[in-house]
Amino acid sequence: QVQVLESGGGLVQAGGSLRLSCAASGRTFESGYCMGWFRQTPGKERTFVAALSWSGSETLYADSVKDRFTISRDGAENTVFLQMNSLKPTDSARYYCVSSLGGDYNCLRSKSYEYAYWGQGTQVTVSS
């Protein structure tokens, strides 16, 4: 059974940094899946933040976080990170780590329906 678990959220002042981690388990014998991050604020839909290809060499970012956030992967540990710098109050949200189904070595996805596995989320609050 695939499980996705986020950590690293918290409270930070505007201009500060946070690093989110995402551990995906239950996929030892599976390959060709991509991972990403979405975020959601109360009363609004989940929005795309960043995505990472299976190889880790390709990334995709929402315009709102480009040049401030970096998604990366530790393949040996099957862990994905989201380094968030220059945080703004508008970045406050619950952040969800996501993972797609396997078998697509070229995937790089930004739509929520393209991801099969979702974590429970971790809260990020940026104070002004």
CA 18 from centroid of its chain's CA atoms: 13
Give residue 7's identity as a one-letter amino acid code.
S
Q: Which residues does residue 50 pair with via DSSP β-bridges, in sequence order?
A: 37, 61
pLDDT tens, position by position, for the chain (128 residues)? 888 999 999 999 999 999 999 998 887 777 888 899 999 999 999 999 999 998 888 999 999 999 999 999 987 668 899 999 999 999 999 999 999 888 888 889 999 999 999 999 999 999 99
